[in-house]
């Protein structure tokens, strides 16, 4: 995949779609794009796929602009409850162009979506589109309930599975298209582990509108080097190895969540059913998410500050952090490492960043990471030392070069 990103397709213009391009010399780009589209449809059980969106945000914009009129109402998940910026955050252009009404989760119900409230809202605001999908919600979604509410008010249905498209591909989470959704969008670079891009999947009747909206509506020439990498990614995502990976990501998340809670950490919704979790650091240790992020950085753990549902605190000093297991799982980490990571996190945060504690835990976390090198990244330095000085890979330093742990 990395080879394709740096291939000659980086330089080739191919505005249009296979068989209908505005440039010559498309013999191979047409094959690549058709392959990516066919693989995307097969993998996600979709009738049509557009693989040209340059990333997740333009992908969602293309759907709104292609299927709706400016000013139309979209029902979407509130940002602090797990939704994405492109789901109508007031700071986003889409938030100004469309009329977003935002629904929430219900803390009293384990953080589930309150479908009674959603049904009442839908009856009141009469949306043209019911949108679901999340960036920071640690549970799976009941797509059939979204679909029946949308049907009651004659709205289209769209699921943005950007964060967990790989887990759907790996049959580890529900597929909204199986529940009859009209549109599903996903990035190619999060749990799908591909190059950075976006994929729109939809029912055949929307194919023309979606394609015209992506190009020429919103974008110019597609990044064919990325589309080629996406085609490889989609093939890998259909293998038993990838299905096993998806299950392991979720198993690791469960283990990490439980180990954190055993160490007194408070998790939003009390756990996880997917690949991520949100820790309420204020409730757990009296630290805001920004401070927690900095302490974890010092320990060698990369996490991000995260707003929690109806967070009273500002976005740069929110109440929590968000953790996920896909990257660590890709490196080959399993249950013992999840327990260690929980210990590093809980101990360092509880110490409020005490220098001696951080120094000790950093050395432990670097030691652990060196046992699970990021293959394909031979020059990377972890803790000031080459990542590849690990006995696990010592025999294969050159021999394993062509493939990293992604197989990419």
Ligand X SMILES: *Cc1c(COP(=O)(O)O)cnc(C)c1O
Residue with the shortest CB distance to ligand X: 56
Closest CB 163 distance from ligand X, rounded Å:
4
128 included as an active-site residue: no
Q: How far apart are CA 268 and CA 124, in angstroms?
A: 29
Phi, psi of 361 (to 5 degrees): -70, -35
Q: How far apart are CA 224 and CA 34, in angstroms?
A: 12
191 included as an active-site residue: no
Closest CB 208 distance from ligand X, rounded Å:
24
Which ranges in 45-180 belong to alpha helices (H)?
Answer: 56-67, 93-97, 115-125, 143-152, 165-169
402 contacts: CB under 8 Å, gap ≥ 6 = none
Closest CB 228 distance from ligand X, rounded Å:
18
Residues paired with residue 266 on neighbouring β-strands, in sequence order:
280
Residue closer to ligand X (CB basis): 173 or 299: 173
Classify residue 111 as left (phi > 0), alpha (psi -120 to 50) or beta.
left
**Annotated catalytic residue, options 15, 114, 343, 354:** 15
> Which structure tokens are listed for 280?
């309420």
Which ranges in 15-55 belong to alpha helices (H)?
Answer: 27-44
Residue closer to ligand X (CB basis): 91 or 356: 91
> Which structure tokens are listed for 385?
């030392």
**Annotated catalytic residue, options 185, 187, 266, 281:** 187
Residue pair 254/276 in contact (Cβ under 8 Å)? The answer is no
Three-state SS at 157: strand
Closest CB 399 distance from ligand X, rounded Å:
34
Distance of CA 42 to the CA centre of its chain: 20
Residue closer to ligand X (CB basis): 40 or 346: 40
Residue closer to ligand X (CB basis): 134 or 388: 134
Residue with tokens 């094959």: 31
Residue with tokens 């009941």: 142
187 included as an active-site residue: yes
Residue closer to ligand X (CB basis): 102 or 393: 102
> Which structure tokens are listed for 37?
């589209």
Q: What does the binding site for ligand X look like in residue numbers (CB under 6 A)?
A: 55-57, 60, 84, 86, 133-135, 160, 162-163, 187
Residue closer to ligand X (CB basis): 85 or 382: 85
Closest CB 136 distance from ligand X, rounded Å:
8
**Annotated catalytic residue, options 30, 72, 142, 196:** 196
> Which structure tokens are listed for 180?
């009859």
241 included as an active-site residue: no
Q: What is the DSSP string of 258-317?
A: HHHHHTT-EEGGGS-SSSEEEEEHHHHHS--HHHHHHHHHHHT---EEE--TT--S-TTS
Closest CB 70 distance from ligand X, rounded Å:
20
13 included as an active-site residue: yes
Distance of CA 336 to the CA centre of its chain: 25
Q: Dihedral of CA 79/80/83/85: which sign?
A: positive
Closest CB 377 distance from ligand X, rounded Å:
21
**Annotated catalytic residue, options 103, 104, 137, 160:** 160
Closest CB 306 distance from ligand X, rounded Å:
12
189 contacts: CB under 8 Å, gap ≥ 6 = 195, 196, 197
190 included as an active-site residue: yes
CA dihedral 159, 165, 170, 174 (to 10 degrees): -20
What residues are labeled active site?
13, 15, 160, 187, 190, 196
């Amino acid at each position: 995949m990395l080879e394709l990103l740096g291939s000659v397709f980086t330089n080739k213009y191919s505005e249009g779609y296979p068989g209908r391009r505005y440039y010559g010399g498309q013999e191979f780009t047409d094959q690549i794009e058709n392959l990516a589209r066919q693989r995307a449809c097969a993998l996600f059980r979709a009738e049509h796929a557009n693989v040209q969106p340059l990333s997740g945000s333009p992908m969602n914009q293309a759907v709104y602009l292609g299927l709706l009129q400016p000013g139309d109402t979209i029902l979407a998940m509130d940002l602090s409850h797990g939704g994405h910026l492109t789901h109508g955050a007031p700071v986003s252009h889409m938030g100004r162009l469309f009329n977003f009404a935002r629904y929430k989760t219900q803390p009293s119900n384990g953080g589930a979506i309150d479908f009674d409230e959603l049904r009442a809202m839908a009856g009141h605001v009469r949306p043209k589109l019911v949108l679901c999908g999340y960036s920071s919600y640690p549970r799976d979604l009941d797509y059939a309930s979204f679909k029946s509410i949308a049907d009651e008010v004659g709205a289209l249905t769209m699921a943005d599975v950007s964060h967990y498209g790989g887990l759907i591909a790996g049959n580890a989470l529900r597929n909204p298209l199986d529940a009859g959704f009209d549109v599903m969008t996903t990035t190619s670079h999060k749990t799908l582990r591909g190059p950075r891009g976006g994929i729109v999947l939809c029912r055949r009747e929307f194919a023309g509108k979606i394609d015209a909206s992506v190009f020429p509506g919103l974008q110019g020439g597609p990044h064919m080097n990325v589309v080629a990498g996406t085609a490889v990614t989609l093939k890998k995502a259909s293998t038993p190895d990838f299905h096993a990976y998806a299950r392991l990501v979720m198993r690791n998340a469960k283990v990490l969540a439980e180990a954190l809670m055993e160490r007194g950490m408070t998790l939003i919704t009390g756990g996880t059913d997917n690949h991520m979790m949100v820790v309420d650091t204020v409730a757990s240790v009296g630290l805001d998410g920004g401070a927690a992020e900095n302490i974890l950085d010092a320990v060698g753990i990369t996490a991000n500050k995260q707003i929690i549902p109806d967070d009273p605190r500002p976005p740069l000093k929110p109440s929590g952090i968000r953790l996920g297991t896909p990257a660590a799982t890709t490196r080959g980490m399993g249950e013992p490492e999840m327990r260690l990571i929980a210990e590093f996190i809980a101990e360092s945060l509880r110490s409020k960043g005490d220098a001696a504690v951080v120094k000790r835990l950093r050395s432990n976390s670097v030691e652990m990471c060196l046992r699970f090198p990021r293959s394909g990244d031979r020059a990377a330095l972890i803790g000031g030392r080459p990542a590849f000085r690990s006995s696990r890979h010592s025999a294969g330093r050159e021999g394993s070069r062509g493939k990293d742990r992604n197989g990419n």
